[in-house]
Structure 1
C-alpha cells in the first residue's frame, strides 16, 4: 500500500540513488574459480514454471518458526500505463484489498486480522515503475489459514472484483495518499525528474498518477488494465517459511494452473533511460525547502551480475564505497566542517543505468565551499586512489560481515530469502546460496588489488552523461551559482595541486592500566526465564540471559537512574548533548577517526547515552569481539575524551541544519504543539540556532564524567549467544572493575506536564491544500499490568475502527493512527493520540467521525470481534518476539527499570482473557475524557 520507489518518495535524500551496482571484470581467474563462470543459483530453493508461464520459488526455512512469507510478484508497473491509465497500476494494487472473488468487500483484511495478521505492517503491497508486489506473512501452523493464504495469492493473481462502488470509495483514499506526498519535495521533483531521467517515459509515469485521472478514469479502463497485465506469464509466487515444500508445490500446481493469459495479450515492452552523452544542469528552489542540496550524477550503462567476474566487480565497488564513506566521515569531524553532510558512491540508478553520485548538504551561504570539498576529495581519490591500509581495513570489515552472516546461516530470516528470489524474478540476477556467497566472498576478496579499486574512480568519475542538480530554499534563489560557475569550480579543482591522503594511524593499548576485577556478592537464579541475576562487589547488577536465537549475536544495555533531570534548565542542553559530544570524541589515546580505524574488522558497537531519567550505554558484539566490547564499555567510564574540534564541528552542523527549519510546515506544527502542551519549556521544545550556543563543551564533559563516575546503581542486561563460563571473566574484570563511590540517586520529577484541561489550536502554514490533525488525551494513570493491557487493547481496537470509518467508509484519509503510551516513573501518566492527514475541507467532518468512534466504544464498548483480533494479534506477535534477543533485552531491562517482575511476560497470553467488552469500555471512559482532549490542526496558509 506504499510507494517503494525511493527515487520518487524521498528525493532530497541524496543517497537514495546509490544502490549497489555491478560491473564486468577483465581478470580471468580468482582463486580456484574461473571468472567467466556463470554465478551458481541457490540450489536449496525449489523453482518451477507452470505451463501458463507462472513462475514459483519455494523454500523451507524455520526462522521464524511456524511462519511463512508469501509473495505475489507481477512485472506490471506504472511504466506500462497509457495516457488514460495514469496511476492505475497503483490504484489496482489498492483494489486488491477491496474485494476479490473469495474475499469480497473488505473481508480479506477482516479475515486476516482475525488470524493475527496486521494490516499495513504484515499485509502490504507496493507499486513501482516496473512491478507490483504483494506480501502476506502468515502463521503456517494452521492448515486452514495456510490454505486460505494460497487462495489470497490466487485471488490477487487474477480475481480482483473491481466493484464500481469500491472503486469510487478508493479514489478518495488514493487522492489522500497523493495529497500526503505533496509539498516541497514533490514540487521540486516535478521540475527536475525530466532532466534526471533524460526526458524518458519514466519521467512521465510516476506510480501515484495524476489527480485528474484518479478522479475521472472509467471503471472499464481499470478492468481492461487488469485483464491485459494481470496474467501468469508475468507473475511469480514466492513462498519461504516453515512449510512442507513438496506439498506446497503440489498445491500451487493445483490452484494456479488454470490461470489464463489473454488470447490477444499485449507485448510487455521493456523501457530504458537513454544515455545522451550530454551534461545537464538545473537549479530548483522552493519556499519550504529547508536546506541546500547539490547532487552530481554521472550515469553509466547498468552492469548486471551474471558471472563470477561481475560479482568480483560488485565487491570492488562495495570496497570503494566503504573507503569513500570513511573519508567523508573524517571530514565531518573537523572543527569547521565544510558541509552538513557530504559524500558519494558508485551504485544503481534506475532501469538500465548505474551512476556515480556525489552529494553535499551545504551550510547556509556556503554552497561553493561544501561543493568544492566533496569534489576535491573525489578528485583526490581519482588522482591518487586509496591507500593499501585503507583497503586492508575495508577488506577486514567485509570479511567480518561475511563471517557473521555465514555463522547465522541457519538462523537467516525467511524475508531475506524472499528478497533474493524476488530480485531474481524481476531483475534476472542470481540468488546465491549461503554457502556460495561465503565461499565466493572469501576467495574473491583476496584477489582484489588496490589498483582494481582505484581504477573505479577513473572509470566512473567522468565528464559526460553528468547531471548537476541544485535544490535550495526560495530565499537563496538569487545567490545560487549557474552552470558556468559550477563547472568552473570543478575545472579549477581538476587543475589544482592536491596532496595525497594521509592515513594517520596508531597502534597503542586502549587502556593504559587494566581494571581491578571485582567479585560476585550475590547470585539469584530465575530458571523460568532462563535468567541469572548477579550483584557484583561494586554494586553493579548484571542480568544475564544466554540464548540460542542467534549463533553470534550478543546485545547489552545498561541504565542508572538520574539523567538530565538532575541538572538545571541552564545546564540542560549541555547535559542532553554530553554523551553525543563525548561519544564522538574517541576514547583514551584514540581520537574518533583513529578509534574507527582501531576497531576495523571488529563486530562491535558501544554507545553511551544520557536521557532524561537515566544514563547508561548500549552495546552489541559477536563472540570473538566480546572482550573488545567490554574494554570499550569500561573505557567510556574510565578514559572518556573531549575533542574540541569534534565539538565545534558538531555544533556548526547542528546550527546549519536548524537555520531554515521553520520553513517546513510540519516542523512549525510540531513546535507549536510542544510549546502549547509544555509552556515553551526548554526540555520539550525543539532547539533553535541561538540555543546551540548554550551548549558548553567543558560543562558537558563534566556532566558526562559525573554521570559515569559511579557504577554502584547501574543495571546491565546481557542477552545472546554466550555461556556463563565464557562471559564471567569479562564481567568480573570490566564491570566489576567499574568505579564505586556508593552514591544513591533517583531521577527528579520535573513536573513538566500538559494542562489538565484540553484546548484547541490551529496553525496556518504551508502552500499545499492539505491538513494534519492531532488529537491528544493526557492525565494521571493507574499504572498496573492489567491497566496497561487494557489501554493497549483500546489502541488496537480504535485503530481498526478508525481505518474502517475514516479510510474505508468515508474515503477521507490514506492512513490514521491511534497511539497509547504510559509511564510509571517519575509519575504515573498516560497519553493517547489520534493522528491523520486529509484535505482542509474534511478536517472537521473526519474529526467528528473519529470522536464518534471513540464515543461508541465509551458508550457501548467495542465489538467482540475486534477484541478477538487484538488477542490473536498479540499471541502471534509474542510467539515470534520470544525468539528474539532484542525483545528480551528490552523486556528485561524495562522490567528492572520499572521495578516490575519480568516473569509477567510468561503469564501475558493467559491474562489476555481479562480483555473484555466491559473492561475496554471502562478504560476508554476512564482516560478518553472529553475535558482532557487537545485538538491541534495544521491548515494551509491563505492563498
Structure 2
C-alpha cells in the first residue's frame, strides 16, 4: 500500500514539473513582428519590411538600411562610410550629379527634411519621406529604383567627390557631441577608434579609389534591408520591390563581423568645470550587457529591470538618500546602470555614495519586502498594453531599424503582450536580487565617474572608491515597508454650474459659412463671438477648444504694467468661484477635462480639451472661469512674500540662461524685432511687487472678455459637426456684450539702419551668426505665401552657394517670422555657423544672392517645384486626423489676418504667384543695406 502511495506521489510530482516545464517553454518564444507587416528576403539575401499605416495620411516613409557603418572601416579608411552616404546624393548610374535630389524635389520633397541619410557605427540609413499618395506604379518603380541606385549604382565622380569633401570638412568643424564625458563613456575599443565622421586628415586623404573599394566590398544586398511604411498597397509595393532588387548581386562572401563596446578594467574618472549652477554633480556609471528584446523572456527581463530601478529609487527616497538611479541602453551591446548624486560639497557627496552602496548591498542580501515588490510588480503589469494604435509611419520605421540592426523588437500583438504579463507575474524577489547582484558584479569590472563642479574641489577617484567600498562593508540595514494605499475615489457628481444644459436657437446665429475645400465651418453669433469648427477623424472622441482675443499686457501703459503683468499666473492658482477647488480638480481629472487661461503680450484666451460627450461641461467651465474665477488669496500672498524675499537674488536657472549664448542671441533678436515688448520696459522694482493686488488683477482679467465682438473660438476634434455646432452656439450665444472696446492697432517699428551685436568671445573661431532683414507689411495669404517662397529660395541659394560651391558652412538655415494683427511686421533670420575669417565673405555672398534675385526673376520651373512642395506639405501637415495641427493653423490664420476664404482657395492663390511677383517681393521686402548681424 505504501509502495502504491509512493508511486502515486512521484507521478503527481512528475506531472506537476512536466506541466510547469511545458508552461515555461513558452517564455522562449520569439516575439512576432507587428500585425499587418510583410517581411521577406530575396534569394540574394536582401531583406524587406513593408507595412500599411495611415498615420499620417498621404505620407509614405522609405528606408534603405545598410548594416554597414564606421565599424567596417580599416584604420586608414576613417570617415569613408559617412563620405559614401554624402556621395549617394551626388551621382549614380541613372542620375548625374545632384539630379536625383532635383527629381525628388519635383515631387514636393525637400532636401534635409524629406530626403536625408545618416551614418552611425553599425549602420547607414537612407531615408525618403514622400508627401504624396504612393500608389502609382510609376512612382513606386522610380523611388525604389533610387534605393537600388544607392545599393550598387553610385559613380563617385571626382568633381563631386571634391564638392562633398569641402562640405564634410565644414561639417567636422561644426560637430560637437554636446557631452563633456563622451570619450569616457564610449570606452577604449573599436567604436572609439572608428568615429563616423572621421578626422580632418582622414577626409583630406579620401580618394575615389578608396570610396569605390569600401563601397564594392560592403554594399552587398545581403547587408541591406528596404523598409516601406505608409498609406500604401503593401502587396503592390512588395511585387515591385522584388522586381527592382532581385537582380542585385553579392560580389563576395565576407561575413559581417560583430564588435563589443569594451572598457578598461577598473575605475575611470573625468572632471568637467561648470560655471552654471552651484552644486557638485557626480554620475557613476556601470556598463553591463544590455537586454535585446527577441523573445518573451527578453521582454520580461526588460520589464523586470524597470521594476528593479523603480524599487531602488523608491527605497532611496524613503531613506532620504539623495541619489537617482536609471538603467538604459547606451551603445552597441551595452547598457548603463547610472547613479547620479548632487550636493553642495564633497563631504555630502561621499556620504550619499556610502549610503547608496550600503542600501544596495542590503537589498542584495536581504531582498525587497514582499509587499514592496508586489506593489511595484502590480503597477508594471498594469502599464503593459498595446501602444501602437496611432504610431506614425516614421516611428514605425525607427522601430524596424532597431529590429534590423539590433534584432530588438518589443511585443505589439495581444498574444505576446499577454504572455509577457503572464511570465512577468512569475518573477520573484530573488529575480530582482539576482539582477541587482549582476549589476554590482559588473561594477567590479568597470565604473565610469563623471564629475561636474563649479570649481575643482579636490574630489579624487580614491575618495569616491573609498566611500563606495565603505557602504558595501557597513552593517546591513533594517527596513520596514510602509504601504501607501491610495484611497478609492468614488465617481463625482457634476457640479450644478457645470451641468447646465444650454439650448440651441438658430436665431442666435447672425451668419454662417462653410468652406468645403478645407472642411471649416464659420459661424458668427449675434453677440459678436465667432466660432470656427473643423471636425477631424483621429479616433479619439475628444476635442480641443481655443479661444483668442486681441488685448494683452503689451497694451498696458508703463504706469500699470507690473500691476497686471502676472495676472494669468495668479488667476490660474484658483479654480472657479462656485466650486471648491479640490472638488473641481477631482471632477476634471475623473472626466478627462482640462482648461488653461492665458494672457500674452498682445492676446488673451483659453485652451481646453475634453471628451466629446463632456463638451457642455467644458463650455460651462470656460464661462465660469472668465466671469467668476476663484481668488486664491492665500497662495497669492505666499507668492508675493517669496518674491519680496528673493528679489535681486539670481537663481541657478537664471544664471544658466544669462550665460547661454543662444539665449542671449534670441533675446537680442526679440528685443530688436519687438517679439518681447516687456524687454523694452523699465526693470521691475521691489515697490512694484508690494503694489500687487489680486482683486484688481481679477478685474483686469474679466474685463478682457467684456467685449464679445473681440472673441474667436476654434474647435477641432473627433466630433459630429451638427452636435458640436448646437452645443457651442447654445453655450456661447448666452455670453453678453458688456463693453465695446477696440484694441489699438499694433505697428512695430523695424530698424531703419544696419546693426551689429557682439555675443561671441574674441577667441572663438567658429561663430553662430544671425543675418537678419526686416520690414513692415499688410498681411494676407498671398503676401505671406510670397514671403515663404522667398524664404525657401534663399535657403536653396545658401545650400548651392555657401555650402556646395564655397564650402564655408555646413547647415545654413533660413527662418521667417511674421506678425499680422500684433505687429504688421516680418523678418528673415539667416543662421550660419562660420569661421571668423569667413564672416565678411559670407555677408558679401548673401548680398550678392539677394541682389541677384532682385534683378532677375527665378525660373518658372523652380517656382513650380516650390509650389508643389508647399501643396505637399499642407496635405501632410493638415491631414484629416491632425487635430492639433488644424487648431494651431486656424489660430495663426486669425492672428495673421489671413482670411479663411483665401485659405479655401489655397492652391489657386499659390498657383497665381509668378516669378515676377517673387522678384518684386525681393525688391520690396529686402534691403541689404539694413543687415542686422547678431553673434559677432
**Do the two structures share a fold, i.e. TM-score over 0.5?**
yes
Closer/same/farther in 2, CA of residues 389 and 591 from structure 1, 3 Å limit = farther
Match of 1:857 among 847, 853, 857: 853
Deviations 1:374-429 (A, max 9, x none): 99899989777969778777766x37xx47x46xx3x6533233233222211112
Q: 1:193 to 1:799 in 2, by over 3 A?
A: closer
The aligned counterpart of 1:258 is 247
* 3-state SS of 1:205 partner: coil
User: What per-residue deviation string (whole Å, max 9, x for no partner) do you get for residues 545-568 of structure 1?
Assistant: 222244445333232332322445
Distance 1:692 1:448 in 2: 62
1:841 aligns with 2:837: yes
1:871 Cα deviation from its structure 2 partner: 0.8
Partner of 1:80: 72
| One of 792, 795, 798 as aligned partner of 1:799 | 795
Structure 1 residue 346 corresponds to structure 2 residue 327: yes
Give unpaired runs (5+ residues) of structure 1.
1-26, 332-336, 939-943
In the TM superposition, residue 36 of structure 1 has moved relative to its aligned partner by 3.6
Q: Is structure 2 residue 426 aligned with structure 1 residue 426?
A: no
Specify the alignment match of 1:715 in structure 2. 712
User: Measured at CA, do residues 283 and 710 of structure 1 come closer, stay the same or move farther in structure 2, by a change above 3 Å?
Assistant: same
Equivalent position of 2:927 in the other structure = 929
Inter-partner Cα distance in structure 2 for 1:628 and 1:125: 49
For normalisation by structure 1, the TM-score amounts to 0.80
Are 1:175 and 2:164 counterparts?
no
Q: State the partner residue of 1:774.
A: 770
Q: Report SS of the residue matched to 1:59.
A: strand
- 2:182 corresponds, among 193, 210, 228, to 193
> 571-580 or 126-135: which moved more?
571-580
1:310 is the counterpart of 2:306: no
SS class of match (1:303) = coil
1:546 to 2:538 alignment: no
Q: Residue 459 of structure 2 corresponds to which residue in structure 1?
A: 481
Say if 2:910 is the partner of 1:912: yes
Q: Distance in 1 between matches of 2:820 and 2:834?
A: 35
- Shift, 1:194, TM fit: 4.0
1:565 aligns to 2:560 (yes or no): no
Query: 1:855, 1:746 → 2: CA distance?
Result: 41
Instruction: Give the Cα separation in 2 of the matches to 1:841 and 1:771.
Output: 10
Residue in 2 aligned with 1:18? Answer: none
Report the CA distance shift for 1:254/1:771 in structure 2 as closer, same or farther (over 3 A): same
Instruction: Give distance in 2, aligned partners of 1:768 and 1:108.
Output: 38
Do residues 100 (structure 1) and 79 (structure 2) align? no
**How far off its partner does 1:437 sit?**
6.7
**Cα pair distance change 1:106/1:671, threshold 3 Å:** same
1:810 and 2:793 are equivalent in the alignment: no
Pairs within 5 Å for 1:155-554: 155-182=149-176, 189=180, 192-263=181-252, 265-274=253-262, 278-285=266-273, 294-316=282-304, 344-359=325-340, 398=383, 402=385, 405=387, 409=389, 412-430=391-409, 432-433=411-412, 435=414, 447=425, 458=436, 462=440, 464-465=442-443, 467=447, 469-470=449-450, 472=452, 476-479=454-457, 481-486=459-464, 514-515=497-498, 517=500, 518-520=502-504, 522-523=508-509, 525-529=512-516, 530-532=519-521, 542-554=531-543
Within 1, Cα distance between the matches of 2:689 and 2:427?
A: 46
Deviations 1:465-505 (A, max 9, x none): 264544546xx222363335556776679989999678596
Q: Who is 2:781 aligned against?
A: 785
Equivalent residue of 1:57, what SS?
Answer: strand
Between the aligned partners of 1:415 and 1:311, the Cα distance in structure 2 is: 23
Residues in 2 aligned to 1:379 and 1:734: alpha-carbon distance in whole angstroms: 62
Aligned to 1:56, the other structure's residue is in SS state: strand
1:145 to partner: Cα distance? 3.1
Identify if the C-alpha distance between structure 1 residues 229 and 290 changes in structure 2 by more than 3 Å, giving closer, same or farther: farther
Mapped partners of 2:455, 2:121: distance in 1: 32
Map 1:543-622 → 2, pairs under 5 A: 543-567=532-556, 579=568, 606-620=595-609
Encode CA deviations 1:906-931: one digit per residue, 9 max, x unaligned. 20011122211100000110010133
Q: Is the 8 A contact 2:31 2:416 kept in 1?
A: no
Report if the CA contact (8 A) 1:288-1:665 is conserved.
Answer: no
Structure 2 unmatched ranges of 5 or more: 1-18
Stretch deviating more after TM superposition (866-875 or 59-68): 59-68
Q: C-alpha offsets along residues 732-757 of structure 1, whole Å, 9 cap, x if unaligned?
A: 899789x9783455656677644222
How far apart, CA to CA, are the structure 2 residues paired with 1:745 and 1:338?
A: 58
Alpha-carbon deviation of 1:889? Answer: 1.1
* Aligned partner of residue 395 in structure 2, secondary structure: helix
In structure 2, relative to structure 1, the CA distance for the partners of 1:639 and 1:726 (3 Å cut) is farther
Q: Establish whether residue 117 from structure 1 lines up as the match of residue 117 from structure 2.
A: no
Aligned-residue CA RMSD (Å): 4.9
Cα deviation 1:859-902 (Å, max 9, x = unaligned): 01222222011111012112222422223212322334456532
Could you say if the C-alpha distance between residues 302 and 843 of structure 1 is closer, same or farther in structure 2, counting changes exceeding 3 Å? same
Contact 1:290 1:663 in 2 (8 A): no
SS at match of 2:854: helix
CA contact (8 A) 2:300 2:423 kept: yes
User: CA 1:927–1:635 in 2, change beyond 3 Å: closer, same or farther?
Assistant: same
CA contact (8 A) 1:565 1:750 kept: no
Q: Quote the offset at 1:702 in angstroms.
A: 6.6
How far 1:631 moved relative to its partner? Answer: 8.5
Contact (CA 8 Å) 1:604, 1:626: kept in 2 or not? Answer: no
